[in-house]
Amino acid sequence: IAMVVNKLEVDSLLKSFGDKAVLTDIWLQCVPGEVIGLLGRNGCGKSTLLMIIFGSLRAEQQFIRADGKPMTALTDRMGYISYLPQEGFLPPFVRVRSALKLFLKNEAKNTTDSFPFLLPLLQTRVGRLSHGERRLLEIILILNTPGRYVLLDEPFNGLSPLQKDNVSEIIRATGKHKGIIITDHDYRHVQALATRLLLMHDGGLKQITDTENLAGGLYLP
């Protein structure tokens, strides 16, 4: 019997909006222990790709599999794929303590031990947090859910330099045992974290072996 290798596989993915083809025959693999940095210009389809992998957006054609299991419905992804969207996903009326218990169940206590800055915020409603505090909380929740694969869309957006460093540390630690795909306009932080860089251009993905390849108009001016 062939052994199933743990990996997230995306193949033959096509997505159009109207007459415009955004993603054309995308192929991507991610294994636990690697952090894939996904770079590309605004509007090239990075967020679209992450939403399709997560299952919140349908493509005209797609083949997605995690650890050998086909991912056909959004419910298939539960326990396999976690996703941080660009926009906040926590309701503003929920208290931090409740959010931790809801997402992390029995691990909530360990999480506050690991991130003591959360302790004074436990009774605070999400809507009263600063943008940076809320984003940090959401990133911690998503990275600590059971899913073996994590998709992060703009995790550094609106964070202070110190908060960005904190997020980088959390992603680096989690990336040792989970497969992470991250996209962000702050490409320097993405580049520093990534074990592999991919550039989205003309609807496809191209591996970047030399960061100088980012220049020349494909990504950097």
* Three-state secondary-structure class, residue 22: strand
Contacts of 121 (CB under 8 A, 6+ apart): 96, 129, 133, 137
Dihedrals phi, psi of 153, to nearest 5 degrees? -105, 110
Between these two residues, 154 and 218, which has the higher pLDDT value? 154
Give the whole-angstrom CA distance, residue 60 versus residue 141.
31
pLDDT per residue as tens digits for the range 122-156: 999 999 999 999 999 999 999 998 889 999 999 99
pLDDT per residue as tens digits for the range 60-96: 999 999 999 999 988 889 989 999 999 989 999 999 9
Q: Are 65 and 71 in contact (CB under 8 A)?
A: yes
Query: Largest alpha-carbon pair distance within the chain?
Result: 54
**Residue 213: what pLDDT?**
58
| Average pLDDT estimate for 157-162 | 92
**Residue 57: what pLDDT?**
93
User: pLDDT band at 1, cuts 50/70/90?
Assistant: very low
